[in-house]
Amino acid sequence: MLQDVVIDIHSLSQISPSVAAEQDADPRLLLALHFIANNHSQASLGLKDVSKSAGLSAWYFSRLFNTSMRMGLREYLKNVRLEHACRLLKSSSLSIKEIAASVGYNHLSDFYHHFKSGHGISPLVFRRQARRTSTLLEDLSAPRTMQQLPRQ
Buried b (16+ CB within 10 A) or exposed e, 119-136: eeeebeebbeeeeeeeee
**Cα separation of the two ends of the chain:** 54
Per-residue pLDDT of the chain (152 residues; tens, 9 = 90+): 444 443 443 344 433 444 445 557 889 999 999 999 999 999 999 999 999 999 999 999 999 999 999 999 999 999 999 999 999 999 999 999 999 999 999 999 999 999 999 999 999 999 999 888 877 666 666 666 555 656 55
- Residue 7 and residue 38 in contact, taking contact as beta carbons nearer than 8 Å: no
User: Residue 23: what pLDDT?
Assistant: 57
Phi-psi region of 51 (alpha: psi -120 to 50; beta: other; left: phi over 0): alpha
pTM to 2 decimals? 0.74
Distance of CA 93 to the CA centre of its chain: 18
State the number of CA atoms in the 13 A half-sphere of 137 facing the CB.
6
Q: Are residues 32 and 58 in contact, defined by beta-carbon separation less than 8 angstroms?
A: no
Given this model, what pLDDT does residue 96 score?
96
pLDDT computed for residue 109 by the predictor: 96
Local structure of residue 93 (DSSP, 8 states): -
pLDDT of residue 11: 42
